[in-house]
């Protein structure tokens, strides 16, 4: 049973396209996150979201937008993809929003923009 799942696992697309990455967690957690792992291997927070609050890392371009149809899903939509968006994107979830709870990560989505 996969706790945090992401689709697709790999995504290759052209510059300028719009794409979405889906994330689902079956842990009943309240908070979900998106992280980006860049070419230098840094894992950086992009968004955190629970039912009440969306926190956006100020460095994230507004071409990136999280969309949550329900508590178990937090999808990442990217408009007008750029070469620099190529990275691995990880979704994560935790029980509460205090960050004291362990975050559980998905397997990652490898995005390549050509």
Partner 1 sequence: DQQVKQNSPSLSVQEGRISILNCDYTNSMFDYFLWYKKYPAEGPTFLISISSIKDKNEDGRFTVFLNKSAKHLSLHIVPSQPGDSAVYFCAAFYSGGGADGLTFGKGTHLIIQP
Give the footprint of partner 1 on residues 3-62 (CB under 8 A): 4, 31, 33, 35, 40-45, 48-50, 53, 55, 57
Give the footprint of partner 1 on residues 55-74 (CB under 8 A): 55, 57
Give the footprint of partner 1 on residues 74-103 (CB under 8 A): 90, 92, 97-100, 102-103
Q: Are 111 and 86 in contact (CB under 8 A)?
A: yes
Binding residues (CB under 8 A) for partner 1: these are 4, 31, 33, 35, 40-45, 48-50, 53, 55, 57, 90, 92, 97-100, 102-108
């Amino acid at each position: 049973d996969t706790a945090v799942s992401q689709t697709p696992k790999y995504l290759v697309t052209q510059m300028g396209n719009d794409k979405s990455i889906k994330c689902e967690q079956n842990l009943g957690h309240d908070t979900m996150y998106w992280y980006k792992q860049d070419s230098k291997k840094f894992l950086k927070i992009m968004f955190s979201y629970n039912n009440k609050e969306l926190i956006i890392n100020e460095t994230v371009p507004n071409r990136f937008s999280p969309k949550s149809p329900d508590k178990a899903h937090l999808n990442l939509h990217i408009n007008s993809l750029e070469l620099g968006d190529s990275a691995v994107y990880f979704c994560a979830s935790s029980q509460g929003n205090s960050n004291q709870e362990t975050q559980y990560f998905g397997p990652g989505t490898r995005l390549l923009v050509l």
